[in-house]
Amino acid sequence: MLWSTEYETGHLRVDEQHKELFNLVQQLLDGSLRGDDKDVISHILVTLAGYTVTHFATEEELMIRSEYPRLEEHQMQHDGFTDEVLRLVDLYKNGKITSVDDTIKGFIVEWLKDHIMGRDKEVAEHYKQWLESLE
Ligand SMILES: [Fe+2]
Ligand SMILES: [Fe+2]
């Protein structure tokens, strides 16, 4: 999952965090393709889950500060994704799933791309306008 400028929201911190998310997802894809040990894969999954939570908190803070009107809907999307990733971590750790298969990879990749291109860009634009309105 490679970063490209089309994913840029224009908010520096958000973009840096998105890059790190892409990086972690790529590690997950590479690791599972190589057939890395379960411990290695589950470590990446846990790191991804943790970083996701940090990142979502950053965005939610921006939304609250700028009184973004669709905060609740956006938060629900974040919570849904976090729950799903945590569920995967759990299933993986408990041996209920043994590989990060195409469905999982597809879900994570598609969700992130869709969410960034739609919702996150909207938040960044709203935040920028809010900042400008203060000038
Ligand atoms: Fe985001
Ligand atoms: Fe978001």
Residues 91-130 pLDDT 10s: 988 988 878 888 888 899 999 999 999 999 999 999 999 9
Distance CA 93, CA 45 (A): 10
Which one of the ligands is nearest to 79 CA? Answer: 2
Residues in contact with 112: Cβ distance below 8 Å, sequence separation at least 6, in sequence order: 1, 18, 21, 22, 25
Q: Which domains does the chain have, with CATH numbers?
A: 12-134 (1.20.120.50)
Q: pTM value?
A: 0.94
Report pLDDT digits (tens) over 51-80.
999 999 999 999 999 999 999 999 999 999
- Cα 56 to ligand 1 centre (Å): 6
Distance CA 80, CA 61 (A): 18
Please tell me the predicted confidence (pLDDT) of residue 1.
Answer: 81
Give the distance (Å) from ligand 1 centre to CA of residue 107: 15
pLDDT the model gives residue 101: 80
Give the residue with greater pLDDT, 102 vs 24: 24
Ligand 1 centroid to residue 105 C-alpha, Å: 18
